[in-house]
């Protein structure tokens, strides 16, 4: 009976097999492995996606692309379409939309890096797909199933960020909608949950690293982690990134900005090029302890 599936009893393996036939593991060693532009997810490599929160200008995104590539990043991240909790924007914080997508294209051409960017509306899918290698479904749209289905139908790889209030079961439900469209390149990304006890004015969410082994116990999909958004605080990004790799994350998304304190949005969270370079080297060492790697040998 559906009624005695308890709320805390978020996921039982039986429930999984029944509700999420595509997302659930068939056996203990079942893990998806897939290629995105020559980079394999779900294998020994831990691909790194780095870049600014927003694609503020062509100059900024190209400069960042060059620098994160030099440090070993595998994908360039950056938002041209960007939801905010209220409809007003400062001068600085303006979505660059079509123009920003174009600038991502320039950065891609300059560096060869794959692109990941957020899609918020079906109507912009075609435009965004011309440039992006991975479509990001933001946490606010994790339960916008029509958008997920439409995005999945493009056959572009999808990364689905967990809503800050979503259980593992809710999150896998969203993945199932994408898999149901025949798209097998689905990445899940943890980015912090709301809890009664945050730690700081500038800490909005709690990074849930326990979900990494928990998710990998029941789903074959790769699990990424975004420590920048969860901590919302630069000094914690390095320890939480190392912890994410140690916990078994399959990919890491990081906010990197040439001039973090002047980032158009959330200036407390991006790290600069130097910190990113050092972090890449440390994460690579942690990865090796788990038989994985980040930097190319």
Helices (H) and strands (E) in the chain, counts: 10, 10
Instruction: Name which of 199, 140, 202, 134 is nearest 166 in CA terms.
Output: 140
Q: Which of residues 117-176 bind a second copy (CB under 8 A)?
A: 120-121, 140-141, 143-147, 149, 163-170, 173, 176
Instruction: Report the residue from 105, 202, 272, 295 that binds a second copy according to the rule CB under 8 A.
Output: 202
Q: Which is nearer to a second copy, 14 or 35 (CB)?
A: 14
Per-residue b/e over 168-178, b at no fewer than 16 CB within 10 Å?
bbebbbbbbbb
Residue 294 lies near a second copy (rule: CB under 8 A)? no
Size of interface with a second copy, in residues (CB under 8 A): 87
**Partner residues linked to 13 by β-bridges:** none
Our finding on whether 57 is near a second copy (CB under 8 A) is: no
Shortest separation between residue 66's beta carbon and a second copy, angstroms: 27
Tell whether residue 4 is a contact of a second copy (CB under 8 A): yes
Which residue in 106, 129, 214, 295 binds a second copy (CB under 8 A)? 214
DSSP assignment string, 45-63: B--EEEE-SB---HHHHHH
Nearer to a second copy, 26 or 197 (CB): 197
What one-character DSSP code corresponds to residue 159? Answer: E
Residue 285 binds a second copy (CB under 8 A): yes
Q: Please return the burial class of 274, using the count of CB atoms within 10 Å of its CB with bins 0-12, 13-18 and 19+.
A: exposed
CB of 137 to a second copy, least distance (A): 11
Rounded to the nearest 10 degrees, what angle do helices 234-247 and 273-289 cross at? 20
Question: Rounded to the nearest whole angstrom, what is the least distance from the CB of residue 111 to a second copy in the complex?
Answer: 28
Determine, following the binding rule CB under 8 A, whether residue 182 of this chain makes contact with a second copy: no
Judged by CB under 8 A, does residue 104 bind a second copy? no
Nearer residue to a second copy within complex by CB, 96 or 139? 139
CA distance 30 to 28: 6
Compare residues 3 and 296 and give the one whose CB is closer to a second copy: 3
Residue closer to a second copy, measured from CB, 75 or 177:
177
Is 266 an interacting residue with respect to a second copy (CB under 8 A)? yes
Contact window for a second copy (CB under 8 A) among 45-53, 54-62, 182-190, 239-247: 239-247
Asked if 98 is part of the footprint of a second copy (rule: CB under 8 A), the reply reads no
Does position 38 interact with a second copy (CB under 8 A)? The reply is no
CB contact at 8 A, 204 and 198: yes
In this structure, the number of other CB atoms found within 10 A of the CB of residue 10 comes to: 16
Would strands 34-36 and 158-161 be described as parallel, antiparallel, or unpaired?
unpaired
**291 makes contact with a second copy (CB under 8 A):** no
Q: In a 3-state reduction of DSSP, which class is residue 139?
A: helix
């Amino acid at each position: 009976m559906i009624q005695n599936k308890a709320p805390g009893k978020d996921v039982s393996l039986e429930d999984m097999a029944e509700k999420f036939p595509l997302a659930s593991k068939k056996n203990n060693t079942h893990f998806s492995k897939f290629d995105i532009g020559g980079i394999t997810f779900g294998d020994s490599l831990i691909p790194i996606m780095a870049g600014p929160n927003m694609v503020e200008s062509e100059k900024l995104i190209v400069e960042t692309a060059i620098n994160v590539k030099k440090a070993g990043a595998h994908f360039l991240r950056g938002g041209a379409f960007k939801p905010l909790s209220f409809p007003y924007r400062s001068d600085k914080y303006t979505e660059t939309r079509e123009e920003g997508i174009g600038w991502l294209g320039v950065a891609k051409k300059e560096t060869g890096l794959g692109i990941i960017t957020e899609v918020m509306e079906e109507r912009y899918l075609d435009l965004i797909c011309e440039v992006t290698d991975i479509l990001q479904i933001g946490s606010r749209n994790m339960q916008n199933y029509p958008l997920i289905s439409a995005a999945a139908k493009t056959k572009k790889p999808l990364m689905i960020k967990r809503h800050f209030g979503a259980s593992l079961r809710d999150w896998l439900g969203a993945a199932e909608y994408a898999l149901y469209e025949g798209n097998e390149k689905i990445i899940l990304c943890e980015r912090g949950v709301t809890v009664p006890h945050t730690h700081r004015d500038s800490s909005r969410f709690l990074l849930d690293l326990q979900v990494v082994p928990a998710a990998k116990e029941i789903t074959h999909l790769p699990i990424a982690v975004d420590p920048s958004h969860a901590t919302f605080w630069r000094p914690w990004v390095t320890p939480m990134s190392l912890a994410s790799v140690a916990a078994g994350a399959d990919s890491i998304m990081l906010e990197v900005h040439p001039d973090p304190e002047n980032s158009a949005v959330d200036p407390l969270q991006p790290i600069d090029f130097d910190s990113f370079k050092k972090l890449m080297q440390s994460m690579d060492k942690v990865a090796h302890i788990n038989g994985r790697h980040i930097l190319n040998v």
